[in-house]
Amino acid sequence: MSHFNAVDIIRAKRDRQVLTGEQIDWMVDAYTRGAVADEQMSALAMAILLNGMSAEETARWTRAMVESGERLSLDVDRPTVDKHSTGGVGDKITLPLAPLVAACGAAVPQLSGRGLGHTGGTLDKLESIPGWRAQLSTEDIRAQLRSVGAVVCAATEGLAPADRKLYALRDVTGTVESVPLIASSIMSKKIAEGAGSLVLDVKVGSGAFMKNLDDATELARALVSIGVDNGLKISAVLTDMSVPLGNAVGNAIEVAESVEVLKGGGPADVVELTVALAREMLSLAGLSDVDPAAVLSSGDAYETWCRMISAQGGDPEAPLPTAEHVEVVEAAEDGVLIGLDAYAVGVAAWRLGAGRARKEDPVQHAAGVMCLAKPGDTVEKGQPLLELRTDTPELLAAGRDALADGIVIGDAPADHRSLVIDTIRG
C-alpha cells in the first residue's frame, strides 16, 4: 500500500477535495494499526462532517473498514438475510423478527449491539433472560444458523475493527452525525457479517437518530448505495418513530412483549412492523411465496425463538426480572391523548436505569416505562397513562421529569400515522 501523509489527507478534505481510493485505504488502515493518531483521525472526521463525502468516497471508506478485519463465511444451506435498525424507543422488532424469518425458511445472522442514551440495545434486552449469552465464536454462529436458522449475538472481535475504533472516537469528538460516517459504520459491519441480503429499518421522528424525513431519506439512500456497490441485495424501509413502538420500553419488559407477539398476541403496531419487515426480508431472500403473518399465527416462530434462546444458554421459560418500585403517571385532565413523545419516554426509561450513558455502564434489566395508553385513546383525569419501573427509587423523580412535556391531552383526535413511510430499494 502506498504511503501518504495524514496531514495532507486532512487538508484535502478540509478544502473540500474528493479523496482518492488510495488515500482512503491508507488512512483507514494506518489508523487501525495506530500509525495515525486519534487527533488526526478526529480532525478528518470533523472535515468529513462539515464537507461531506461523495457516494464513491463513502463506498470506498466502507470497503476499507470491512477490509480492516475478517469477513464471516456463513456456509449455510438457506438464503441468508439480515435486518438493521437505526434505533428507536421500544424498538424490540429484532426479537420476534429473527425467529419469524428463520421459521419462514431463511437464515438470519443478526449481529447486534448495546444501547447508548435513550435507545435500548438488543443485547441488553436479551441479557435479561437468565443464562443467555451474547458472545459466540464464528463457529458457534455457523452451527446455530444451521440448526436453528437464527442467531442474535454480539459482533466478533475480528469484524470491522476500524469501525469499532472510529465509532468510539466519533462519540467523544462531536462527529457522530455525519451521514457518510454513519452509513459506512453500519454497512461495514453488515457487509463483513456475510449475509447475502439486508433490510434496513431507518427510523424517523423524535425518538429516532434522524428527526426529520429529509435526513432519514438521505441516510437511507446512502446505505442502499453502499450495499449495491458491495453486491448486496438491499432495501431501506423508512418507519415512524414519533411514538414508542408497542407498550413496553426497557429490557425485560420488551422481551415479555416480544414473546406475546410470537405467541400470536402483542400490540398491533409491533405485529404490523414485524410482519412488514419480514415480508421485505423474505422478498430479498427469494422466499416471497411464504406468508409471514400465517407463520407467526401458527406458533412456528415461537418454537424457533425457544430454540434460539436455548442454543445460547438461556431459559425461554424462566421468569424475567421485575422492578422493585413502580410509580403510575396519571392523566391530568379528561380528553384525548394526542401526543406521547417517543424521545421523552426513551429518556425516562434511560433515567430509570434501562439505558446507559457510557458503554461500560451497567443497565437495570427490570427498569423501564410501560405505556398504558397510546395516542388516539380517550382518557379521563386520574387514569393511569404510564408506569415507571425501577429497582432504584431515587431515580423515579428523574424519570417523571423527563416526561414533563411528552404527554399531550387535548380535545381533537390524534393524527393517524402510518408506521411504514416509504421503501427505497437497491
**pLDDT digit string (tens) for 188-239?**
999 999 999 999 999 999 999 899 999 999 999 999 999 998 889 999 999 9
Beta bridge partners of 326: 389
Query: What are 263-274's pLDDT values in tens digits?
Result: 999 999 999 999
- pLDDT category, 413, cuts 50, 70, 90? confident
Average pLDDT over residues 333-359: 91
What the block records as the C-alpha cell of 206 is 423524535
pLDDT for res 171: 80
Among candidate residues 189, 190, 203, 351, the one labeled active-site is 189
Among candidate residues 124, 163, 269, 341, the one labeled active-site is 163
- pLDDT category, 359, cuts 50, 70, 90? low
Following CA atoms 259, 261, 265, 266 in sequence, which dihedral angle do they give, to the nearest 10 degrees?
100
Least reliable range by pLDDT among 36-45, 225-234, 388-397: 225-234
Q: Which value, in Å, is the radius of gyration of the alpha carbons in the chain? A: 22
pLDDT for res 177: 85
What the block records as the C-alpha cell of 283 is 422478498
**Mean of the per-residue pLDDT values of the chain:** 94
Among candidate residues 83, 165, 170, 233, the one labeled active-site is 170
Average pLDDT over residues 94-122: 89
pLDDT for res 397: 97
Domains of the chain listed by start with CATH number: 6-52 (1.20.970.10), 81-318 (3.40.1030.10), 325-410 (3.90.1170.30)
Known active-site residue 189: yes
Query: What are 415-425's pLDDT values in tens digits?
Result: 777 899 999 99
Asked whether the predicted pLDDT for residue 17 surpasses 70, the reply is yes
Among candidate residues 13, 63, 83, 84, the one labeled active-site is 84
Apex 299 CA angle, 295 and 303, nearest 5: 110
Q: Whole-model pTM?
A: 0.93
Among candidate residues 185, 225, 258, 283, the one labeled active-site is 185
Query: What are 290-315's pLDDT values in tens digits?
Result: 999 999 999 999 999 999 999 999 99
pLDDT for res 31: 97
Give 284-293's long-range contacts (Cβ < 8 A, gap of 24+).
284/81, 284/197, 284/198, 284/199, 284/233, 284/234, 284/235, 285/79, 285/80, 285/81, 285/101, 285/106, 285/196, 285/197, 286/79, 287/79, 287/104, 287/105, 287/106, 290/104, 290/105, 292/100, 292/101, 292/104
- pLDDT category, 1, cuts 50, 70, 90? low
pLDDT for res 172: 84
Provide the percentage of residues in the chain whose pLDDT is more than 90.
Answer: 85
Known active-site residue 83: no
Query: What are 132-154's pLDDT values in tens digits?
Result: 999 999 999 999 999 999 999 99
Known active-site residue 351: no
Separation CA 417–CA 339 (nearest Å): 12
